[in-house]
Structure 1
Amino acid sequence: MNLHQLELDSKTFVDRPLKADPKVVRDEFLKKFGGQTVENINSQELLAFRERYFDKEGQELEKCNIPGWQELPPKIARIRDETLKHFAIFLNKRWKDLCRQVKPIKHPQRHSLIVVPESFIVPGGRFREFYYWDAYWIVKGLIASNLYKMVKNMLTNFLHCVKKFGFMPNGGRVYYLRRSQPPFLIPMVYEYYKVTKDTKFIKENFNYLVKEFEFWIKNRSLIVQKYGQNFTVYQYRTVSNVPRPESYRVDVEAAVKVKQEDRQKFFQDLASAAESGWDFSSRWFKDRQTMQSIETTNVVPVDLNALLCWNANILKYLASINSIPKKLRAISNTNIFKAGDKKKVAEFESKKESISEALNAVFYNNTEKSWFDYNLRTKSHNVIFYPSNVMPLFTQCYSEIEYEKPADIVNFMDRSNLFGYQNGVPTSLETSSGEKWDFPNGWAPLQHIIIEGMRKSNNPDVQELAYKLAKKWVLANYRVYQATNQMWDKIDIIGTVPKPGSGGEYNVQDGFGWTNGVILDLLATYYDRMSVPKTSQKENSASMFKITPYLPATIKITSTGIGKKDENSQNKSDLMPQVMCFPCGHISLSLTDL
């Protein structure tokens, strides 16, 4: 069907339900077309066959009511700038447009849809079912909208998938069952717990969270040797070595330029890049430009390893919650780890430390003072900026004593000239690939990773830069919304004319779940600071940096508490590196307000 281009998008065909059982349709197809080559099949006869045996896509789902939805939830009501408050109100309403539930299905075997028990939020556009890593930023937005029951519904669906399949697949279709996406289920549960303290939900589902974690630990690990030591690291590496069903035609066409003996590996690398969520990007290309040079399984991605480090740290926390008697929990959070399951806590602490050690040994570049992907073919870092480099800041998977790292990352980004773009930080600086996860596109989740990674640092200057970038991103999306009356999966970060992004195997998509979620989360975070400029003059968003990391003043414990010691003091007994209340490094910068 897709090779005859009966659909504009290959995904449309594999989303169509069957009108009869799979065996009947298969037998009828072989009876009608068996023995013919694909090229010799008559397209009109094939179209007639499709109309006879396949229904229209998307009919298994229906819109739903969002439990607890309110027009002006508290976190939105407190936004000070009236224009941005109305923008947030609009985004809050969009949840109702993106809410779906599965209709009663009499013959589930006739559908590619994965049936789940609860309602969910879809990204939008061609993405008419739920998706894995999209959901983290949707959840962040739902929390900003006080829609905690909707968050629980989505988590219940994902845990249902883990129970049924042993892991969380890429999305809500059976053709996604051979790959996953970045493992954000455990962080999503953590975000839900932070605002609800729903310990019952944690106790009921903790083992399934462990099961999801173990899928990655067991199925995506490999050994890398550095400095004479073996380190266990993790990569996106699917078992699939055939064209992706939802992108069948484009995969087959791309493979034409690949040697026959290399095509299975080529298809595996395509699927593995899709598992990363970055499908596609120069990040996975040997020559940084062409799809045919893709080598995803030669790349060990820093973001996945940092994310699994965070997973382990969260599981350590949830393990203690899972086993603390209710009375003890009510007394104090300070004894949480003492009161919890010490064996489980120790197990996940050990795993977190192991991944953290590998992050420093395998991914950290002491020359550039940044983390990078590691290439197995070259046995070296891919010393190129991608927002994924910042993931260890986002997941806080670096030692507290490494207080200079946030400033060092900002230094590297500044040397790469990343802060002068009109509408945000680019996904890469590669201009020739034509892929959507490259320049000049800006993606909401990547902006959020950068912003939150900086905001979570203990460095006030880096935190201020986080605010500047957040404001830039929010206002850029507001301008695009004003110009197009839509929210998009990505936007162009370079143009003075607001517009959505471009490139890749399908057109830009509207909706859009994670974009809306990120904007709502940022507005909830900076509700009292952010505003739309009153002037109609063109804003100058260029940034000028003079970055001078320094060792902060030593912290001294005095009889009256914590105080700064004179920086010139030579009294080494006053040095207290374990006391991490000082700023983590320093940046001297000048930023022009948006």
Structure 2
Amino acid sequence: MIPPEIRRSVLLQNAIKLALAGTLLTFASFSATAAAPSSDTETPPPPDILLGPLFNDVQNAKLFPDQKTFADAIPNSDPLMILADYRMQRNQSGFDLRHFVDVNFTLPKAGEKYVPPAGQSLREHIDGLWPVLTRSTKNVEKWDSLLPLPESYVVPGGRFREIYYWDSYFTMLGLAESGHWDKVADMVANFGYEIDAWGHIPNGNRTYYLSRSQPPFFAFMVELLAQHEGDEALKEYLPQLQKEYAYWMEGVETLQPGQQNQRVVKLEDGSVLNRYWDDRDTPRPESWVEDITTAKSNPNRPATEIYRDLRSAAASGWDFSSRWMDNPQQLSTIRTTTIVPVDLNALLYKLEKTLARASAVAGDQAKASHYDALANARQKSH
């Protein structure tokens, strides 16, 4: 009898070309549509790209009550080998998809339930939660969808096992109130690291969040840190503030009135404003079946258009508000990318004013005047 490990190796040789062909084609498609990092950091593919048909089949089979579970699962070996195994086995009699997943993946652990001590005051309860919600991911498993960060950070908790962008500003206000300025500094450092690595702060530190950002609160975070450390914090993070601004304004130089590019829009009168945008137009890995179901409910619209607008609403943090929909009762009428939100542009006005202030602190009055002019122009837009 041929030992299982040898049989597996021989069979893989027969299937690997097929797995490679499909996977490499998918990787090529992803690299053309995903946001490229601004440094030498290689953009890691999200799980729907990494696992191709296996990811689609697992999510469509609804093996887990929460679609985020498999998006956060960690392959136990090279995903290419797992995919090749899957292509060979899936049509065999008695194939058990759930068993295949259990053997080949490490599923995320359920969070431990925190029971606070009795009789705590509200402040004591909050102070007790900080260590419970603090995570450190300097090193992550290979092929994990979680993106490593250099410093510790605070997560929302529950199914949200990663840091989120705009949520974190309000977390940082709480940390500051609790006197944890070291954690505030760590979180600002993490977001600065992400800007340097990816060219922007992703929705969260997961590979499947890299194609979008969230409301740009980094300027508020740096200003919060400056309240404790002084204006040197503004000077220190000026390069990252500039990079985030460049991300939101990418392509503005070539726009004609009435045109738009990704996150930036030039109105007919020449005013420049911004909108929410996701670089991909596929179902979100963490909400795969839900997005497919939403798209199917409106066959009169291209599915890719609906997917993009769903993703862009997630980028707004308002997922899903009726403000983005033609019909508040029908999610498939979502039109996020056709709207220029006043609150987003207020945040970018704040970013421009912060850039002006930070440039002045750095001694660059010309740049300070430049950003002030941009902020004033945005304020006058209508």
**Structure 2 vs 1, CA of residues 43 and 220 (structure 1 numbering), >3 Å: closer, same or farther?**
farther
1:180-212 CA distance string (max 9 Å, x none): 11011121111111122161x443432122101
Structure 2 counterpart of 1:216, from 248, 255, 265: 248
How far apart, CA to CA, are the structure 1 residues paired with 2:325 and 2:236? Answer: 42
**Post-superposition offset of 1:150:** 0.3
How far apart, CA to CA, are the structure 2 residues paired with 1:22 and 1:198? Answer: 47
Q: How does 1:365-384 map to 2 (within 5 A)?
A: none
**Structure 2 vs 1, CA of residues 270 and 313 (structure 1 numbering), >3 Å: closer, same or farther?**
same
* Contact 1:4 1:43 (8 Å CA) reproduced: no
How far apart, CA to CA, are the structure 1 residues paired with 2:211 and 2:139? Answer: 26
Structure 2 counterpart of 1:87, from 97, 103, 122: 122
* Contact 2:249 2:264 (8 Å CA) reproduced: yes
Structure 1 counterpart of 2:237, from 205, 216, 234: 205
1:14-39 CA distance string (max 9 Å, x none): 10111002211222222223xx6xxx
Q: Rg larger in 1 or in 2?
A: 1
SS at match of 2:298: coil
How far apart, CA to CA, are the structure 2 residues paired with 1:119 and 1:260? Answer: 46
1:327-361 CA distance string (max 9 Å, x none): xxxxxxxxxxxxx3111101110111111111xxx
SS at match of 1:222: strand
Q: How does 1:126-145 map to 2 (within 5 A)?
A: 126-145=159-178
**Post-superposition offset of 1:159:** 1.1
SS at match of 1:233: strand
Structure-1 residue corresponding to 2:61: 4
Structure-1 residue corresponding to 2:133: 98
Structure-1 residue corresponding to 2:96: 45
Structure 2 counterpart of 1:247, from 287, 292, 296: 287
Structure-2 residue corresponding to 1:344: 367
* Contact 1:202 1:318 (8 Å CA) reproduced: yes
Q: How many residues align?
A: 308
SS at match of 1:133: helix
How far apart, CA to CA, are the structure 2 residues paired with 1:273 and 1:293? Answer: 12
Gaps of 5+ in 2: 1-57, 113-118, 251-261
1:31 aligns with 2:64: no
How far apart, CA to CA, are the structure 2 residues paired with 1:17 and 1:343? Answer: 49
Structure-2 residue corresponding to 1:449: none
Percent identity between matched residues is 34
Structure 2 counterpart of 1:163, from 168, 184, 196: 196
In structure 1, give the amino acid aligned to 2:264: S
How far apart, CA to CA, are the structure 2 residues paired with 1:49 and 1:17? Answer: 13
In structure 2, give the amino acid aligned to 1:304: L
**Post-superposition offset of 1:156:** 1.1
How far apart, CA to CA, are the structure 1 residues paired with 2:285 and 2:94? Answer: 20
How far apart, CA to CA, are the structure 2 residues paired with 1:184 and 1:278? Answer: 15
**Post-superposition offset of 1:115:** 0.6
Q: How does 1:498-577 map to 2 (within 5 A)?
A: none
**Structure 2 vs 1, CA of residues 43 and 252 (structure 1 numbering), >3 Å: closer, same or farther?**
farther
SS at match of 2:270: strand
More strand by share: 1
* Contact 1:316 1:346 (8 Å CA) reproduced: yes
* Contact 1:179 1:238 (8 Å CA) reproduced: yes
How far apart, CA to CA, are the structure 2 residues paired with 1:260 and 1:101? Answer: 46
Structure-2 residue corresponding to 1:281: 321
**Structure 2 vs 1, CA of residues 273 and 42 (structure 1 numbering), >3 Å: closer, same or farther?**
farther
Gaps of 5+ in 1: 63-82, 324-339, 363-594
Give the TM-score normalised by the residue count of structure 2. 0.76
Structure-2 residue corresponding to 1:354: 377
SS at match of 2:246: helix
* Contact 1:133 1:184 (8 Å CA) reproduced: yes
1:461-504 CA distance string (max 9 Å, x none): xxxxxxxxxxxxxxxxxxxxxxxxxxxxxxxxxxxxxxxxxxxx
Which runs of 4 or more aligned residues in structure 1 lie more than 2 Å from their structure 2 counterparts after TM superposition?
41-44, 201-205
1:365-394 CA distance string (max 9 Å, x none): xxxxxxxxxxxxxxxxxxxxxxxxxxxxxx
* Contact 2:356 2:368 (8 Å CA) reproduced: yes
In structure 1, give the amino acid aligned to 2:69: T
How far apart, CA to CA, are the structure 1 residues paired with 2:328 and 2:285? Answer: 25
**Post-superposition offset of 1:160:** 1.1
* Contact 1:58 1:128 (8 Å CA) reproduced: no
For the aligned residue pairs, the C-alpha RMSD in angstroms reads 2.2
Q: How does 1:140-151 map to 2 (within 5 A)?
A: 140-151=173-184
Q: How does 1:126-525 map to 2 (within 5 A)?
A: 126-197=159-230, 199=232, 201-218=233-250, 219-225=262-268, 229-259=269-299, 262-321=302-361, 323=362, 340-358=363-381, 362=382
More helix by share: 2
How far apart, CA to CA, are the structure 2 residues paired with 1:186 and 1:103? Answer: 24
